Amino acid sequence: MSTALKPKHQRLALVVLALVVLVGAALLAAWGLRGQASYFYVPSDIASDPPEAGRAVRLGGMVQEGSIKTMPDGVTVAFIVGDGEATVPVRYTGITPDLFVEGSGVVADGRLAPDGTFVADSLLAKHDENYMPRELEDMSKAQAKAVVAETE
């Protein structure tokens, strides 16, 4: 009496083993990324379905005109980010990017505090499509294009 598997059963066992390994790898990847994932919210998303307090999220929107206020410590900045439907107060401690001005776009990584204030760990200032770095302002379009092509 032979206990060896027939070729058909061997293939089936290999397929099942491959599926188990694939599902295991996917679960390990998901587990590893769960702490790294940062969901993007706009102020209206936060107003309608706020993330749980303390969860790392990314907030994007426009800095409201007249809302930037520097706190007495000199390094903390408070401002309001809006998207036309809702607003979120934001507090950030650190050096702000050069392009960070009222009326410009901003993306902030941080957490929503229990009081509803978004506490940012980092800020990215966005610029419009007409932005030109100072280094390229005096160059002709062909020269600027060549410099950009060299850096890509």
Binding region for heme? 127, 131
CA atoms within a 13 Å half-sphere pointing along the CA-CB vector of 41: 28
Cβ-contact 59, 113 below 8 angstroms: no
CA distance 93 to 108: 12
Phi, psi of 42 (to 5 degrees): -105, 160
Known binding-site residues equal 127, 131
